[in-house]
């Protein structure tokens, strides 16, 4: 009977391991962006296209990424949608003319490159992929 409990615990741990790894994401902005930390609601509004300018008046250029682990964790925990719901949200916005979906880049490296090249850029990447080309933007 005790072996059965160990097997169940092992299965649960293995199932949750990818989520734990994906949980380690950060928001990144252009190094020149003076934006102070954002609230979680402000981040949500940015990625839903409801907040389109920074505090200094510069246009926000957000990007998302294809990496399913990072993307799914981000939209579930910050935007409060599943990946499918998030995609549907943007398809509806495009169809009704109320918004244009953000560019979807392949991975952390492409997100960092986009953000580094765009003063108003913002995206999310795995915390382990941070380098000096971008600045981490805290949110609470």
Residue 4: pLDDT band by 50, 70, 90 thresholds?
A: low
Q: In the chain, what are the domain boundaries?
A: 23-137
Residue 5: pLDDT band by 50, 70, 90 thresholds?
A: very low
| Across 33-43, average pLDDT | 94
CATH level 2 (architecture), domain 23-137: 3-Layer(aba) Sandwich (3.40)
pLDDT tens column, 57-110? 999 999 999 999 899 999 999 999 999 999 999 999 999 999 999 999 999 999
Distance CA 20, CA 52 (A): 31
Residue 140: pLDDT band by 50, 70, 90 thresholds?
A: confident
User: How far does CA 119 lie from the centroid of its chain?
Assistant: 18
Which residues, listed in sequence order, are joined to residue 123 by a DSSP beta bridge? 28
Q: What is the mean pLDDT of the chain?
A: 86
DSSP assignment of the chain:
-HHHHHHHHHHHHHHHHHHHHHT-EEEEEETT-----B-HHHHHHHHTTS--B-TTSPBPEE-EE--HHHHHHHIIIII-S-HHHHHHHHHHHHHHTS--PPPEESSHHHHHHHHHH-TTEEEEEEGGG--TTEEEE-B-
| Across 121-129, average pLDDT | 95
């Amino acid at each position: 009977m005790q072996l059965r409990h160990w097997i169940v615990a092992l299965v649960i741990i293995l199932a949750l391991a990818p989520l734990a790894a994906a949980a380690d994401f950060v928001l990144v902005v252009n190094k020149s962006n003076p934006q102070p930390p954002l609230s979680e609601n402000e981040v949500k509004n940015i990625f839903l296209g409801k907040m389109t300018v920074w505090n200094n008046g510069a246009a926000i250029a957000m990007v998302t990424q294809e990496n399913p682990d990072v993307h799914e964790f981000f939209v579930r925990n910050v935007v409060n949608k599943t990946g499918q719901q998030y995609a549907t949200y943007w398809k509806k916005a495009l169809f009704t003319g109320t918004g244009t979906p953000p560019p979807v880049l392949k991975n952390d490296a492409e997100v960092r490159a986009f953000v580094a090249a765009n003063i108003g850029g913002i995206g999310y990447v795995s915390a382990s992929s941070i380098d000096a080309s971008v600045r981490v933007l805290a949110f609470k």
